[in-house]
Amino acid sequence: MKEPTEEQSVKLWKWCGCTVRPSEDYQYYHSLYNPDGDHIMSAIKIQPCHYPTIDLNNLFKWAVPKLLKRHTVEIIAMETKIMASIYFDFDNDKTMITETDKDPALALFWAIWGVMK
C-alpha cells in the first residue's frame, strides 16, 4: 500500500484528538497537543505544526483506544505481510474492514482510514 498523504495523516490525528491552538507564551506561535493534552511542539504561525508520525506506537496509543470503544481490532502476522482487521460486530464476524501490507503501521492506518470514512 502507499504512504498516506500529509492531508490524510493530519485528518487521522485530528480524528484522534490532536489539536493546534495558539501558544500561551507567545503571540506569534501556535502549539500542537496530543489527544492526552500533552504539548508536542510549538511553531511560528507561518510554519505548519508537525503531527505525530504514523507508526505502531502512536497508532496504538491514540487511534486504537478510540476504535476499541465500538470496534474490535485484530492484527495477524502472515508469511509475507501483516493483516489488520477492524470488526464492527466481532462475535458475528460482521462488517469487517481488512487491509494488508508489509508494514504493519500502514496496514493498521488504512484499516482505520476505512472506519473514518
pLDDT of 116 over the 90 cut: no
Residue 92: HSE in the Cβ half-sphere, 13 Å Cα cutoff: 4
Cell numbers found for residue 5: 498523504
Q: Is the pLDDT of residue 28 over 60?
A: no
Is residue 50 a contact partner of residue 59, using CB atoms and an 8 Å limit? no
Average pLDDT across the chain, whole number: 81
Q: Tell me 62's DSSP state.
A: I
Domain map (residue ranges) of the chain: 6-116
Distances in Å between the Cα of 87 and the Cα atoms of 4, 26, 50, 54, 66 are: 22, 45, 31, 21, 14
Cell of 47: 510554519
SS (H, E, C) 9-57: HHHHHHHHCCEEEECCCCCCEEEEECCCCCEEEEEECCCCCCCCCCCHH
**5-18 tens-digit pLDDT:** 989 998 998 898 88
Average pLDDT over residues 90-108: 79
Task: Grade residue 31 by pLDDT with cuts at 50, 70 and 90.
Answer: confident
Q: pLDDT-based confidence at 44, cuts 50/70/90?
A: low
Distance spanning both ends of the chain, measured CA to CA? 17
The pLDDT of residue 102 is above 60: yes
Q: What is the pTM of this model?
A: 0.76
